[in-house]
Amino acid sequence: MMFFKKKDKKEFESKTILTQNVNKELYKVAREYNLPISSLDFNLLSYKTYVKFPGDDFVEADKQLLEKFMIEDNLINEEAEIKQIYEIEIIKSKPNDKFELLGEMNVNNLYTYAEFIVSKYSLLNNLKKIKEELNKKKIKNSLLIGIFDLMDEDIKKLQNIILIDGKLNSDFKIRLCKGLEPIKSVNGEIIYHFSKNTLIFPVKKGDVLIEIILPKPGRNGRDCRGKIIKVEKLKEFKIPEILFDEGAIEKKVSDEKILFVAKKDGYITKEDGKFVIKDEMEVRQINLKTGNVKGADKSDVKLNVKENNVLKEAIMDNMIVETTELIVKGNIGNKAKIKTQKLIIEGQTHKNSKIITQEGEINVHKGEVKAKKLKIKRLEGGVVIADEVDIGLSIGGRVYAKKIKINTMLSHNKFFASEEIKICDDKGEENLLSISPKKVLKEIDDEKLKKRLTEIEQFINVKTKELNKLKEIYLSIKNTMHEYKKEYLKNKKEGKRNSPLILKKLKEYNKLIENIDKIKREINILKKEEENILDTIEYLQSGIFNAKILCNSLWKPFNRVEFELIEPPVKVVYDTKGDEGRCGFKLKDNFKIVKIRIENDICN
């Protein structure tokens, strides 16, 4: 509440004035009579609207002149103006036990829309005063009255829902006014949806490569105060000429934009001033200048990196390459990351590099690689995770795979397989050769599988009991329902109306059948999952007894052969002594490792 310093003892009763700014006059009276503004109110006695057309002075607007002003050409004209002069009587605010309009005024940021949320706690016994009070609220918020007006329709709706005691059951929204919204200018712009700073940028069919936003002039608006809302003028823009390969890129033109869209997967590049998409691309090196190559590992594209200097890296430190097929003539740098479907590396991988591929060939591997099928000429301390891997020579490597083949095994390797380890020539010591499904199939958690199996068995039991109860109900009412159905079809054929009882019973019967079918489907899904889990557990439990460790040459001493069981959780080990000869090993069901004879050359 705002008070002013008392000047004299004048008592305020009322004051009638003409004004364009009601709030300013209320403030002046409050100051003059040392009153809080909240204690003042006003009555709107009359008002006049004045309009000014370009080149003219303000004139009072009659209905015809106001209609002329309200056409869009004038509303958007910056030189056209509109204002209102109000004749008001400023009075002291008095409580009214028959009328009180409570609620919240909402005006948007541009003043182009305003509404009043009438509170359900309002007292609206005097219907005439609703519009009067709303107009007063508009004036106090500097909104023109009778212009851009939306009130009448909503006030009629409000009057229809006012209760006998003048109250409402809920809040009610009244739209006060809606001006002319401005339309923003759209400046012309060219957007490259690929990096122009990199030499290699993979794209997919359907990708928008280049987007030209066409310039479009906006339109001024006018708010509910009568003020013009100016929009930004268009900036100068010339539509560029873009040359492109029509076989690989499609140009789409609309009123708003021009799009250049890829018609196939590949790498976008510019040749002789023309944008093209190439299925295969050759570069000397992947470095900071070329940039990372991302997002093409699921497209049908090929990348050939030609740098083969042993003192340089073909893929530099920390670079990322994602492509469908990758051929690297040289080396892979520190912390480089590669993701591809087909891979050939003719150099060597850094120990901190990471590679993911479906199938590949690596000359010298020192980093980490995950693959489905992999061939490595020389493994030197690197890590391999695969389904099948064929290694030429291995020293200090660590391999996890279903099937492992090593042509020449030197020392300090660790091989973990779930099905088979095959050694062509054993020339090393202190190697670990382990059949360990648990280590190889890390994504399969046997404990979780067993827990889930128990849950499924419980669910099947509960669902089966529920199904049996429903079947009993079905059998008990089957004959009766058959008679109801006959009567229903007969009545329908004869055009007679079926009784509500028949309709109700048949509806319940159909619902019963639906529930029976639903539970049967749920049980079948559970049983299928149960079967899959049992197959997986069987593979984990008994697959180890079918697994083999084979050596095509004479065994060297001090190599450990190991079978790691899941149930019971034990390791059965055998350390070679060098007198085993040419043989293989497997685990018998009595948990003992036995030698097995090798008849033929297993490496050819």
Residue ranges of domains in the chain: 1-94, 189-275, 280-440, 445-604
Q: Is 494 helix (H, G, I), strand (E, B) or coil?
A: helix
Segment 527-536, tens digit of pLDDT: 998 898 888 7
- pLDDT for res 534: 83
User: In 10 A of CB 159, how many CB atoms?
Assistant: 11
Do 593 and 563 contact (CB within 8 A), yes or no?
A: yes
| Mean pLDDT to the nearest integer, 96-106 | 91
The Cα–Cα gap between 278 and 43 comes to 78
**Residues 58, 59, 64, 68, Cα dihedral to 10°:** -20
Poorest-pLDDT segment among 128-142, 472-486, 516-530: 472-486
The Cα–Cα gap between 79 and 197 comes to 48
The Cα–Cα gap between 595 and 550 comes to 9
The Cα–Cα gap between 171 and 118 comes to 6
Do 583 and 568 contact (CB within 8 A), yes or no?
A: no
Residue labelled with tokens 């364009």 = 20
- Report which residue type is found at 390: D
Is 42's pLDDT higher than 70?
yes
Report residue 482: phi and psi, to 5°. -60, -40
CA 293 to chain centre: 23
Q: What is the mean pLDDT of the chain?
A: 90
Segment 384-423, tens digit of pLDDT: 999 999 999 999 999 999 999 999 999 999 999 999 999 9
Residue labelled with tokens 């107009």 = 135
- pLDDT for res 451: 85
| pLDDT class of 234 with cuts at 50, 70, 90 | very high
Contacts of 460 (CB under 8 A, 6+ apart): 523, 526, 527, 530
- 493 burial type by CB count under 10 A (0-12 exposed, 13-18 middle, 19+ buried): exposed
Poorest-pLDDT segment among 210-224, 241-255, 275-289: 275-289
Segment 460-492, tens digit of pLDDT: 999 999 999 999 988 988 888 888 888 888 888
**Count of positions (residues) in the chain:** 604
Segment 304-341, tens digit of pLDDT: 888 888 888 899 999 999 888 999 999 999 999 999 99
Report residue 449: phi and psi, to 5°. -60, -45
User: 331 has which bridge partners?
Assistant: 313
CA 58 to chain centre: 56
Q: What is the percent of the chain where pLDDT is above 70?
A: 96
Alpha helices (runs of H) in 39-177, residue ranges in sequence order: 63-69, 72-75, 128-140, 151-161
Is 494's pLDDT higher than 50?
yes
The Cα–Cα gap between 70 and 82 comes to 10
Do 287 and 304 contact (CB within 8 A), yes or no?
A: no
User: In 10 A of CB 15, how many CB atoms?
Assistant: 16
- pLDDT for res 443: 57
Do 361 and 378 contact (CB within 8 A), yes or no?
A: no
Q: Is 162 helix (H, G, I), strand (E, B) or coil?
A: coil
Is 3's pLDDT higher than 60?
no
- Report which residue type is found at 98: K
**Positive or negative torsion for Cα 400, 401, 403, 406:** negative
CA 504 to chain centre: 45
The Cα–Cα gap between 342 and 144 comes to 72
| Mean pLDDT to the nearest integer, 502-509 | 86
Report residue 248: phi and psi, to 5°. -115, -20
- pLDDT for res 2: 44
Contacts of 223 (CB under 8 A, 6+ apart): 110, 111, 112, 179, 229
User: In 10 A of CB 347, how many CB atoms?
Assistant: 21
The Cα–Cα gap between 586 and 562 comes to 9
Is 294's pLDDT higher than 90?
no
Is 9's pLDDT higher than 60?
no
Segment 538-576, tens digit of pLDDT: 777 777 888 999 999 999 999 999 999 877 788 999 999
> What's this model's pTM, rounded to 2 decimal places?
0.60
- 206 burial type by CB count under 10 A (0-12 exposed, 13-18 middle, 19+ buried): exposed
| pLDDT class of 296 with cuts at 50, 70, 90 | low
- pLDDT for res 444: 62
- 52 HSE (CA, 13 A, CB side): 15
The Cα–Cα gap between 174 and 135 comes to 12
Contacts of 122 (CB under 8 A, 6+ apart): 100, 101, 102, 103, 167, 168
Do 547 and 418 contact (CB within 8 A), yes or no?
A: yes
Is 381's pLDDT higher than 70?
yes
The conformational region for residue 42 under phi > 0 = left, psi -120 to 50 = alpha, else beta, is: beta
- Report which residue type is found at 281: M
Is 4's pLDDT higher than 60?
no
User: In 10 A of CB 352, how many CB atoms?
Assistant: 15
The Cα–Cα gap between 158 and 9 comes to 44
Q: What is the percent of the chain where pLDDT is above 90?
A: 67
Do 317 and 333 contact (CB within 8 A), yes or no?
A: yes
| Mean pLDDT to the nearest integer, 127-141 | 93
Do 406 and 417 contact (CB within 8 A), yes or no?
A: no
Q: What is the DSSP string of 102-141?
A: -EEEEE-TTSSEEEEEE-TT-EE--THHHHHHHHHHHHHT
| Mean pLDDT to the nearest integer, 186-192 | 94
Do 114 and 176 contact (CB within 8 A), yes or no?
A: yes
**Bond from prior residue into 217 cis (ω within 30 degrees of 0):** no
Report residue 496: phi and psi, to 5°. -90, 155
Of 570, 576, 575, give the one whose Cα is nearest residue 590: 570
The Cα–Cα gap between 361 and 373 comes to 9
